[in-house]
Amino acid sequence: MRILHITNHVEKIGNGIVNVAVDLACLQSQDGHDVAVASAGGEFETLLARHNIKHCQLDQSRQPLNLLKAAWRFSEIVQQFQPDIVHAHMMTGVVLAGILRQAYQYHLVSTVHNEFQRSAVLMGLADRVIAVSQAVSDSMVKRGIPENKLRVVSNGTLGSPRHPNIQDYQPLPLHSPAITTVAGMYTRKGIAELIAAFTKIAPKFPEAHLYLVGNGPDRFIFEAIVDNIPCAKLRQRIHFEGFQPEPQRYMLATDIFVLASYCESFGLVLTEAREAGCAIVASDVDGIPETLDNRQAGILVPPKDSQSLANVLTQLLGDSVQLQYWKNRAKQNLERFKAVRVHEETMNVYRELVKNYNVRTVMDTKEVLLMKTPTAPMR
What ranges do the domains of the chain cover?
2-156+338-356, 166-335
Average pLDDT, stretch 51-64? 94
Q: Is the peptide bond before 177 cis (omega within 30 degrees of 0)?
A: yes
Q: Check pLDDT > 70 for residue 88.
A: yes
What phi and psi, each to the nearest 5 degrees, are found at residue 255?
-90, -45
Strand partners, 54: 36
Average pLDDT, stretch 181-190? 97
pLDDT digits (tens, 9 = 90+) for 100-130: 998 999 999 999 988 777 778 999 999 999 9
Phi-psi region of 272 (alpha: psi -120 to 50; beta: other; left: phi over 0): alpha
CB atoms within 10 A of CB 224: 9
The DSSP output letter for 213 is: E
Q: Check pLDDT > 70 for residue 289.
A: yes
133 close to 153: Cβ distance less than 8 angstroms: no
pLDDT digits (tens, 9 = 90+) for 131-181: 999 999 999 999 999 999 999 999 999 999 999 999 999 999 999 999 999
CB atoms within 10 A of CB 80: 11
pLDDT digits (tens, 9 = 90+) for 209-228: 999 999 999 999 999 999 99
CATH superfamily of 166-335: Glycogen Phosphorylase B; (3.40.50.2000)
Q: What percent of the chain has pLDDT over 90?
A: 89
The DSSP output letter for 158 is: B
Would you call 102 exposed, middle or buried from its count of C-beta atoms within 10 A (0-12, 13-18, 19+)?
A: exposed
CATH for 2-156+338-356 is 3.40.50.2000
Average pLDDT, stretch 19-37? 98
* HSE (side-chain half, CA atoms, 13 Å) at 98: 18
CA 192 to chain centre: 23
Residue with more model confidence, 11 or 65: 11
CA distance 196 to 307: 8
State the pLDDT at residue 369: 43
Average pLDDT, stretch 327-333? 97
User: Identity (one letter) of the amino acid at 366?
Assistant: K
* HSE (side-chain half, CA atoms, 13 Å) at 369: 6
Question: What residue ranges in 15-106 does DSSP mark as E strands?
Answer: 34-39, 54-57, 85-88
Residue with more model confidence, 175 or 374: 175
Closest CA to 352 of 36, 108, 138: 108
Poorest-pLDDT segment among 60-64, 112-116, 232-236: 112-116
Q: Check pLDDT > 60 for residue 359.
A: no
270 close to 133: Cβ distance less than 8 angstroms: no
Band of pLDDT at residue 12, cut at 50, 70 and 90 = very high
3-state secondary structure 238-271: EEEEECCCCCHHHHCCCCEEEECCCCCCCCHHHH
Q: Check pLDDT > 50 for residue 378.
A: no
User: Identity (one letter) of the amino acid at 218?
Assistant: D
State the pLDDT at residue 181: 98
State the pLDDT at residue 113: 86
pTM here is: 0.90
226 close to 195: Cβ distance less than 8 angstroms: yes
State the pLDDT at residue 120: 86
211 close to 254: Cβ distance less than 8 angstroms: yes
Residue with more model confidence, 220 or 364: 220
Closest CA to 144 of 120, 160, 172: 120
88 close to 108: Cβ distance less than 8 angstroms: yes
2-156+338-356 and 166-335: identical CATH topology = yes
CA distance 106 to 93: 14
Q: H-helix or E-strand containing 367?
A: helix 357-372
State the pLDDT at residue 355: 83
